[in-house]
Chains A and B, each alone.
Chain A
């Protein structure tokens, strides 16, 4: 009866974490015995993480998006929309008439199918023009494909931004009887989840891109090196590879073209440095994942010493689109130096976090305020962190910076893989630098002295700064050491590890000085420099006493009081106080 209705449940990791599987189960239970039979699918990330869990219903009027659903809503949703044909207003985010302004500045290329198709169905991918680019490519000369990629201005989306077409050319021109290609899916930056979402939402786009790349460069075997922490992505890739083999897109003599190629998945074992290409290849070979000097570059001597081309997930996912729509269409988006779009994982103190895809050259302000809706609780924007531990924090003066490789590098940050974490007045920049250094010194593989010892020393200095110990001379020492680590480390990890320190120093040096000279942390983060006090509005309810892990709170004459000698500044009382009567200074 209502078979034309289609229901999509957002079923990426974020959605599942927010309760999508309970919603899906309840939906299926509720539909049982009802006189409706819509097509219900689990789809990938819809990009609106701030509204998870999400259900979308397509009917004759168009698309209705429901968000922030709870299990109790499902019955009403089914009754109202699927049976009575009236939208369930309580949880409606947008209907077909209005455009959700979250999407108005976005342009979907890499995420074109994510949230639209069932990622486990190759047929749905094919219905959405999937594998047409492969058919087209197999009729082309490999050089013609590489020329198209060059013209498109596609650059590596893993962070460094090397022109993809040129990389392919090196691999094609390299001499060798056997060549490999690799998809780098070892997304290790904390605060980044773009690649995970692409793999979960549209695995075939990545596979199709890889098959085309293999044909163009003459590779016979491909590897996907994916983090073991991404079980959903791994499962969908595995299903995708099996289906692609059944359809003849992978294996011997692909589509009767005489070209043979197959793909194997390798699970990463949890080492951040394996995102570096030579370290990644060592890991596939069964070794410790440590980088080696280049040259020789992987294009000449890569995996198992054979010519190897390695690209990131998002780069591969762009390839089929470029071949279908043409290089010109792609390069018309973006800037003169860099074509296409970039996917960002927008998170932190922003109202609408999620997966955002915008043309390269869009400004930070447009991403954070127009797409992201501004700062949570309308607080003051302080900084945006781009590029994870290799990147930097940009202040509000840089909000009108367009996001592309060159401008962000000039500003001291990097495009990076796409993590974008927004910070407000409650975040301390010394603490942020300390946080990233803690990460990089932990993940340093230990090969180079400057990285291994230098990051440790940097962290120690930041630790003492956070306690108010040190002098302005120490700040100079910090800068000098950061500079040496950058210059004398072998791989990207060490070369970029000081960036979070250097950018916070460049834009927020006054904050370092207040820590050292006035022994205060204005943001109220560094535990050794803050005190919690109970104000006169205390109603003596006793909640804080129960929460305090160190028993530092006792009943005073008119209100509760904190014994500063015992207090460990954990903030549990502040979080628990029902009337906000606890202040931090």
Chain B
């Protein structure tokens, strides 16, 4: 849920377990969670997802995909619940989930930036674009910015090879990039949020 720190004014997406107290990631101030803040009950959401899938092992991957769509990642308590529903040990679920590149176990930033490293992008300078993006966001690939705004990922190929080099921000691809243009694209997204 979205919270605003009473001490320093920092806004963040609170994912913690407690429904009463939250600690500001910026200034470590412990504050009471206001009663009106919308408390997302993970249990209810996951039940909706489970209801739509038969109790058989082949439902596992589709359930994990829907779970990630809902929460942005695979929260631990939800995996516990899936384990109970499908009657599969949690170790098995982690075994499957960690095999596939799609699944994450930590919350991601508001915008996901995917840098394409397909063959065409590679020969047209994807490494330079990666430098520029990492430099602008001040994080490495696989990390999330401190303000929670961007998560950076390397991907194998986005399939827009004729527009190489390409990055994708959320669901929108940006092609024919130079370092300069890549920075402008990110600035635009940053601008939208402030």
- Tell me the A residues contacting B by CB distance below 8 Å: 13-14, 16-18, 49-50, 52, 187-193, 196, 228-231, 266-267, 269-272, 283-290, 345-349, 353-354, 385, 388, 419, 421, 423, 427, 432, 435-436, 439, 443, 445, 547, 549, 570-572, 575-576
Check if B124 sits within 8 Å of A348, measured CB to CB: yes
Q: Point out the residues of chain A lying under 8 angstroms from B101, CB to CB.
A: 269-271
Contact flags B86-119 to A (C-beta < 8 A → 1, else 0): 0000000001100111110000000000000111
Query: Chain B: how many interface residues by the 8 Å CB criterion?
Result: 48
User: What's the Cα separation between A374 and B100 when bound, in Å?
Assistant: 39
Point out the residue from A16, A52, A231, A576 that lies within 8 Å of B180, measured CB to CB: A576
Q: What is the chain B residue whose CB lies nearest that of A283?
A: B61
Check if A267 sits within 8 Å of B62, measured CB to CB: yes
Q: What is the chain B residue whose CB lies nearest that of A572?
A: B179
Point out the residue from B96, B99, B131, B159 that lies within 8 Å of A549, measured CB to CB: B131
Check if A353 sits within 8 Å of B161, measured CB to CB: yes
Check B120 for interface membership: any CB of A closer than 8 A: yes
**158-190 of chain B: CB within 8 A of chain A:** 158-164, 166, 171-176, 178-180
Q: Point out the residues of chain B lying under 8 angstroms from A348, CB to CB.
A: 119-120, 123-124, 161, 164
Q: What is the chain A residue whose CB lies nearest that of B134?
A: A549
Evaluate whether A286 and B60 lie within 8 angstroms (CB atoms) in the complex, with A348-B120, A421-B123 already known.
yes
Check if A193 sits within 8 Å of B128, measured CB to CB: no
Check B58 for interface membership: any CB of A closer than 8 A: yes
Q: Point out the residues of chain A lying under 8 angstroms from B118, CB to CB.
A: 190-191
Evaluate whether A289 and B160 lie within 8 angstroms (CB atoms) in the complex, with A348-B120, A570-B128, A572-B179 already known.
no
Q: Point out the residues of chain A lying under 8 angstroms from B173, CB to CB.
A: 13, 16-17
User: What's the Cα separation between A222 and B172 when bound, in Å?
Assistant: 31
- Can you list the 6 inter-chain pairs with the closest CB atoms, starting with the nearest? A49-B162, A191-B119, A17-B173, A269-B100, A270-B101, A347-B161
**122-139 of chain B: CB within 8 A of chain A:** 122-125, 128, 131-132, 135
**Besides A49-B163, A190-B118, A285-B58, 16 other CB < 8 A contacts?**
A14-B162, A18-B175, A188-B156, A192-B161, A193-B159, A193-B160, A271-B101, A287-B57, A353-B162, A423-B123, A427-B123, A432-B123, A435-B122, A549-B135, A575-B178, A575-B179
Evaluate whether A284 and B58 lie within 8 angstroms (CB atoms) in the complex, with A267-B65, A269-B103 already known.
yes
Give the shortest distance, in Å, between A168 (CB) and chain B (any CB).
25
Check if B62 sits within 8 Å of A229, measured CB to CB: no
Point out the residue from A49, A191, A287, A445 that lies within 8 Å of B157, measured CB to CB: A191
Evaluate whether A347 and B159 lie within 8 angstroms (CB atoms) in the complex, with A231-B171, A270-B101, A289-B99 already known.
no
Give the shortest distance, in Å, between B135 (CB) and chain A (any CB).
5
Check if A289 sits within 8 Å of B162, measured CB to CB: no
Query: Can you name 5 A-B residue pairings with CB atoms under 8 Å?
Result: A52-B163, A270-B102, A287-B96, A289-B100, A347-B162
User: What's the Cα separation between A271 and B100 when bound, in Å?
Assistant: 6
Check B15 for interface membership: any CB of A closer than 8 A: no
Evaluate whether A347 and B164 lie within 8 angstroms (CB atoms) in the complex, with A191-B157, A266-B62, A439-B156 already known.
yes
Looking at B95, B157, B158, B174, the one whose CB has the most chain A CB atoms below 10 A away is B157
Q: Point out the residues of chain A lying under 8 angstroms from B56, CB to CB.
A: 286
Check if B159 sits within 8 Å of A229, measured CB to CB: yes
User: What's the Cα separation between A432 and B119 when bound, in Å?
Assistant: 9
